[in-house]
Amino acid sequence: MSLLIVGSMAFDSIRTPFGTAERVLGGSATYAGLAASYFTDVSLVAVVGEDFGDEHFRPFYEKGIDVTAVQRVAGKSFFWAGEYSQNLNERRTLVTELNVFADFRPQVGIDQRNMPYVFLGNIDPELQNHVLDQVNGPRLVALDTMNFWIESRPRELAQVLQRVDVLLINEEEARMLADEYNIIRASRWIAGLGPQIVIVKRGEYGALVYMGDDYFITPAFPLQELADPTGAGDCFAGGLMGYLAGVGRFSTAEMRRAVLYGTVMASFSVERFSVERIRELTLPEIRERYNHFRSMIHVEDT
284 scored as a contact of its own copies (CB under 8 A): no
Main-chain phi, psi angles of 120, to 5 degrees: -95, 105
93 scored as a contact of its own copies (CB under 8 A): no
63 scored as a contact of its own copies (CB under 8 A): no
Identify whether the C-beta of residue 136 lies closer than 8 Å to the C-beta of residue 117: no
Q: Is 213 left (phi over 0), alpha (psi -120 to 50) or beta?
A: left
Going by C-alpha positions, the residue among 234, 273, 196 that lies closest to residue 44 is: 234
Distances from the Cα of 38 to the Cαs of 20, 21, 33, 225, 246, in angstroms? Answer: 27, 25, 9, 23, 9
Going by C-alpha positions, the residue among 109, 49, 58 that lies closest to residue 76 is: 49
6/260 with CB nearer its own copies: 260
Identify whether the C-beta of residue 117 lies closer than 8 Å to the C-beta of residue 95: no
Nearest-approach distance from CB 173 to its own copies, in angstroms:
16
DSSP state letters, 24-78:
EEE-HHHHHHHHHTTTS-EEEEEEE-TT--HHHHHHHHHTT-B-TTEEE-SS--E
205 scored as a contact of its own copies (CB under 8 A): yes
299 scored as a contact of its own copies (CB under 8 A): yes
302 scored as a contact of its own copies (CB under 8 A): yes
| Binds its own copies (CB under 8 A): choice among 148, 185, 212, 248 | 185
294 scored as a contact of its own copies (CB under 8 A): yes
Identify whether the C-beta of residue 27 lies closer than 8 Å to the C-beta of residue 34: no
Distances from the Cα of 238 to the Cαs of 32, 95, 140, 177, 302, in angstroms? Answer: 4, 26, 13, 23, 35
Nearest-approach distance from CB 83 to its own copies, in angstroms:
17
Q: How many residues sit in the footprint of its own copies (CB under 8 A)?
A: 34
Site for its own copies in 207-266 (CB under 8 A): 208, 214-219, 222-226, 253, 256-257, 260
95/297 with CB nearer its own copies: 297
- Interface mask (CB under 8 A) for its own copies, residues 145-184, using x and -? ------------------------------------xxxx
| Binds its own copies (CB under 8 A): choice among 87, 90, 93, 282 | 87
139/202 with CB nearer its own copies: 202
- Binding residues vs its own copies (CB under 8 A): 86-87, 181-185, 202, 205-206, 208, 214-219, 222-226, 253, 256-257, 260, 294, 296-302
